[in-house]
């Protein structure tokens, strides 16, 4: 953050040396310190404090104490309360003798932050290991993709870069809360719950001059694709430099990563959390309906409910004095603009413990977050303008592999058990029914969902179907699948053979859970005898999907099997994430501050097509000031490119270099390298 100014955490002391034009006499020279923040500081609002020089500190209040007189100077300690307003302060000194008029001297400015090291601060976190991770670590990972194909996405938080702290307070000063009532807004900046809600609203730009504009389409020509960001610093600097105009574009992982930067900078322990198959349940009925037609095509729906392939939010650590005992600790904050809360597009803080226990009546936005990880999925067969039958009623398909970075490691931690009891356990179903009764109580008289919960879903099926990948799916290659089908006894057919007609469809899977038009279809006919299994190979050629996928390279293969004797249907699904080429990053020698560090980057195009218009961006706090960008042209199929870059590390300690190579064909070929930077040795 820089050495040219004073930045301190509340609840801690800092020293000042005051120089006078004559010796200071305690008892006849009276010193009164005045600390002020905000546009109209008032002691009643907690934005102005006056305090006199005393021999000892008087508790958790502004104090000037523990002073030492040295000829014409005074060394004094100043203490700031652990519950005071955070932000930039001015400090003045009033000097008087007896009844004479006082003279005011400006002393300078300082910035006050939350203090998670102090037991009296609402963000206190009693673990140095956790504090090093959730406050001091300026890089990390976001987890993306699909529950069975989770990808690690390195991110440069950069919360200690020179100008980031100023931009964080710019964000607070552009919020609607500040613009409507600046003095009231400042007076509430002692409360991490309030600060979190303001930041959650300001990271998106749906209501205000927020940091990021969301874009879930596929045209990013007026800005930067969300996949092409390496870190938060470039985004925050662009927002500030361009007159606080929203930066184009963000999606959930970008919103959450930028919020992590802001909250860590302000002193609130924060981490980034990913949930796979995350529900967006707008009507609060705890069920997400999806529809397929008889040709196995997933249909668009007019309802705003959806299931994201993955969704990313934040957890911030704090005491919840506004809740009953037992709900302190991690709180969910979600800056992605999904729905309004108290009139603004923000979400949280919602206690993770409250979510786990189904206490959806507790603020803030707990029902919405509960549904994100607990809603049921009901899949319908649709035809003749209406839903005809339930194909699947999934009680455990939402909120999978909830993940964050392991403390002190580059590995992923599964924290699903923090959000809910094991799927299908008596505790999980009990909590679900408790939450359902609370959320559905207003419409209890006519709740199809409560009826569905008691119905047990569709009847037993006479066969089981599974789709498997025959080999690792790589972008640019034909996809090989195997259909496994076997007969199981049921009440209708006992053990006799049955005939199935299975219609397959493959569609590009969008991040928000929808699909594009089918890119491949196939129909097969099966005769299943009891006790025998059929394995049928399926081929999805590269030419079918070549120009038809989104940047995330996900395909959903669906199959609808119709039992010819009864007309009943079964559904089989397989989501496929296509592997991009991998790049390697090697460092030639020991890294030292200010000394050239050669980095070798290697990428082999393993695809059958060329990668065109390739660009490379390098980023890493403490290693690079900003970014390094380089155009690397076209990489022919099967060829390897080797790039050498010299870095001059700026800061000591653990650092991470992020490398992103983008092309017209693939937007996200990403890699990282952890680098320990030593202090410069004397030459």
Any catalytic annotation for residue 252? yes
| Domain assignment of residue 683, yes or no | no
- Comparison of pLDDT for 490 and 210, the residue scoring more: 210
What does pLDDT average to over the chain?
A: 93
Given a cut of 70, whether residue 210 has pLDDT beyond it is yes
- Assign residue 242 the CATH number of its domain: 3.90.260.10
Catalytic residue among 280, 311, 393, 511: 311
Residues 253-264 pLDDT 10s: 999 999 999 999
Predicted local distance difference test score (pLDDT) of residue 606: 87
252 and 161, same domain (yes or no): yes
pTM of the model: 0.95
| Domain assignment of residue 123, yes or no | no
Catalytic residue among 121, 122, 146, 252: 252
259 and 392, same domain (yes or no): yes
Predicted local distance difference test score (pLDDT) of residue 533: 93
Residues 332-371 pLDDT 10s: 999 999 999 989 999 999 999 999 999 999 999 999 999 9
Given a cut of 80, whether residue 445 has pLDDT beyond it is no
82 and 45, same domain (yes or no): yes
438 and 477, same domain (yes or no): no
97 and 132, same domain (yes or no): no
Which among 40-49, 301-310, 448-457 has the top mean pLDDT? 40-49
Instruction: Give the residue ranges of DSSP H helices in 48-191.
Output: 128-131, 164-173, 176-180, 182-187
Residues 63-109 pLDDT 10s: 999 999 998 999 999 999 999 999 999 999 999 987 778 899 999 99
Of 442, 477, 511, the residue at which a domain comes to its end is 442
* 8 backbone dihedrals φ, ψ, rounded to 5°: -130, 165
**Rounded average pLDDT over 378-388:** 92
211 and 349, same domain (yes or no): yes
Predicted local distance difference test score (pLDDT) of residue 457: 47
Domain count, the chain: 4
Rounded CA gap, 143 and 273, in Å? 8
Catalytic residue among 334, 346, 347, 365: 334
Structural domain including 653 reads: 583-678
Q: Residue 388 has which token pair?
A: 């005809």
Residue 253 contacts residue 225 (beta carbons within 8 Å): no
Of 391, 412, 442, the residue at which a domain comes to its end is 442
Is 372 annotated in a binding site? The answer is no
| Domain assignment of residue 660, yes or no | yes
Model confidence band, residue 3 (pLDDT cutoffs 50, 70, 90) = low
Predicted local distance difference test score (pLDDT) of residue 443: 60
177 and 301, same domain (yes or no): yes
Going from the C-alpha of 314 to that of each of 89, 193, 246, 253, 260, the distances in angstroms are: 29, 13, 20, 10, 7
Is 374 annotated in a binding site? The answer is yes
389 and 280, same domain (yes or no): yes
Residue 467 contacts residue 572 (beta carbons within 8 Å): yes
Predicted local distance difference test score (pLDDT) of residue 538: 98
Given a cut of 60, whether residue 458 has pLDDT beyond it is no
Of 577, 607, 630, the residue at which a domain comes to its end is 577
Model confidence band, residue 143 (pLDDT cutoffs 50, 70, 90) = very high
321 and 175, same domain (yes or no): yes
Residues 605-634 pLDDT 10s: 988 889 999 999 999 999 999 999 999 999
| Domain assignment of residue 109, yes or no | yes
| Domain assignment of residue 33, yes or no | yes
| Domain assignment of residue 454, yes or no | no
Give me the sign of the Cα torsion angle 125, 211, 399, 404.
Answer: negative
Residues 156-184 pLDDT 10s: 999 999 999 999 999 999 999 999 999 99
Any catalytic annotation for residue 311? yes
- Assign residue 608 the CATH number of its domain: 2.60.40.10
| Domain assignment of residue 526, yes or no | yes
Predicted local distance difference test score (pLDDT) of residue 389: 92
Predicted local distance difference test score (pLDDT) of residue 492: 61
Is 646 annotated in a binding site? The answer is no
Predicted local distance difference test score (pLDDT) of residue 451: 55
Which among 34-38, 471-475, 484-488, 493-497 has the top mean pLDDT? 34-38
Model confidence band, residue 188 (pLDDT cutoffs 50, 70, 90) = very high
402 and 482, same domain (yes or no): no
Contacts of 143 (CB under 8 A, 6+ apart): 150, 151, 152, 153, 274, 310, 312, 403, 404, 412
Is 376 annotated in a binding site? The answer is yes
Rounded CA gap, 223 and 227, in Å? 12
Given a cut of 80, whether residue 1 has pLDDT beyond it is no
């Amino acid at each position: 953050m820089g050495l040219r100014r004073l930045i301190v955490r509340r609840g801690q002391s800092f020293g000042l040396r005051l120089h006078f034009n004559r010796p200071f006499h305690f008892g006849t020279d009276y010193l009164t310190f005045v600390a002020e923040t905000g546009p109209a500081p008032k002691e009643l609002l907690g934005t102005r404090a006056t305090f006199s020089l005393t021999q000892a500190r008087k508790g958790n209040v502004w104090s000037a104490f523990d002073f030492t007189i040295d000829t014409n100077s005074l060394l004094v300690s100043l203490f700031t309360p652990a519950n005071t307003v955070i932000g930039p302060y001015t400090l003045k000194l009033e000097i008087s003798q007896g009844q004479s008029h006082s003279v005011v001297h400006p002393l300078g400015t300082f910035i006050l932050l939350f203090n998670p090291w102090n037991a009296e601060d609402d963000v206190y976190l009693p673990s140095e290991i956790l504090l090093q991770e959730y406050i001091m670590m300026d890089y990390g990972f976001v987890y993306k993709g699909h529950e069975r194909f989770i990808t690690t996405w390195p991110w440069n938080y950069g919360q200690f870069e020179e100008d980031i702290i100023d931009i964080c307070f710019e964000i607070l000063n552009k919020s609607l809360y500040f613009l409507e009532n600046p003095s009231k807004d400042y007076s509430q900046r002692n409360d991490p719950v309030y600060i979190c809600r303001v930041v959650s609203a300001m990271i998106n730009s749906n209501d205000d001059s927020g940091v990021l504009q969301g874009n879930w389409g596929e045209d990013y020509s007026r800005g930067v694709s969300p996949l092409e960001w390496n870190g938060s610093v470039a985004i925050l600097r662009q927002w500030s430099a361009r007159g606080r105009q929203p930066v184009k574009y963000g999606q959930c992982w970008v919103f959450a990563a930028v919020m992590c930067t802001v909250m860590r900078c302000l002193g609130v322990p924060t981490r980034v959390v990913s949930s796979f198959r995350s529900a967006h349940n707008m009507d609060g009925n705890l069920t997400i309906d999806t529809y397929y037609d008889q040709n196995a095509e997933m249909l668009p729906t007019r309802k705003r409910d959806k299931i994201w392939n993955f969704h990313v939010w934040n957890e911030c650590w704090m005491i919840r004095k506004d809740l009953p005992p037992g709900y302190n600790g991690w709180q969910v904050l979600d800056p992605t603009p999904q729905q309004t809360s108290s009139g603004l597009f923000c979400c949280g803080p919602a206690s993770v413990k409250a979510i786990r226990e189904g206490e959806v009546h507790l603020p803030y936005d707990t029902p919405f977050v509960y549904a994100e990880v607990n809603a049921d999925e009901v899949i319908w067969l649709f035809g003749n303008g209406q839903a005809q039958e339930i194909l699947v009623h999934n009680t455990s398909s939402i909120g999978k592999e909830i993940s964050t970075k392991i403390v002190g490691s580059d590995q992923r931690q599964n924290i699903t058990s923090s959000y809910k009891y094991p799927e299908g356990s008596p505790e999980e179903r009990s909590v679900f029914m408790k939450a359902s009764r609370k959320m559905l109580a207003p419409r209890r008289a006519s709740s199809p969902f409560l009826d569905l919960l008691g119905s047990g879903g569709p009847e037993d099926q006479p066969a089981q179907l599974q789709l498997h990948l025959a080999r690792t799916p790589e972008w640019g290659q034909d996809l090989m699948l195997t259909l496994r089908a076997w007969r199981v006894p049921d009440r209708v057919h006992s053990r006799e053979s049955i005939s199935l007609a299975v219609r397959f469809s493959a569609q590009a899977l969008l991040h928000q859970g929808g699909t594009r038009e089918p890119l491949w279809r196939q129909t097969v006919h099966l005769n299943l005898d009891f006790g025998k299994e059929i394995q049928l190979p399926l081929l999805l050629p590269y030419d079918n999907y070549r120009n038809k996928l989104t940047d995330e390279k996900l395909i959903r293969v669906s199959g609808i099997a119709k039992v010819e004797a009864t007309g009943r249907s079964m559904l089989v699904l397989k989501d496929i994430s296509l592997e991009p080429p991998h790049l390697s990053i090697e460092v030639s020698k020991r890294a030292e501050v200010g000394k050239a560090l050669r980095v070798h980057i290697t990428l082999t195009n393993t695809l059958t097509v060329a990668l065109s218009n390739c660009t490379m961006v390098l980023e890493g706090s403490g290693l690079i000031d900003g970014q390094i960008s380089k155009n690397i042209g076209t990489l022919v199929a099967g060829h390897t490119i080797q790039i050498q870059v010299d870095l001059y590390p700026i800061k000591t300690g653990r650092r991470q270099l992020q490398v992103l190579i983008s092309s017209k064909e693939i937007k996200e070929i990403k890699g990282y390298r952890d680098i320990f930077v030593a202090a410069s040795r004397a030459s």
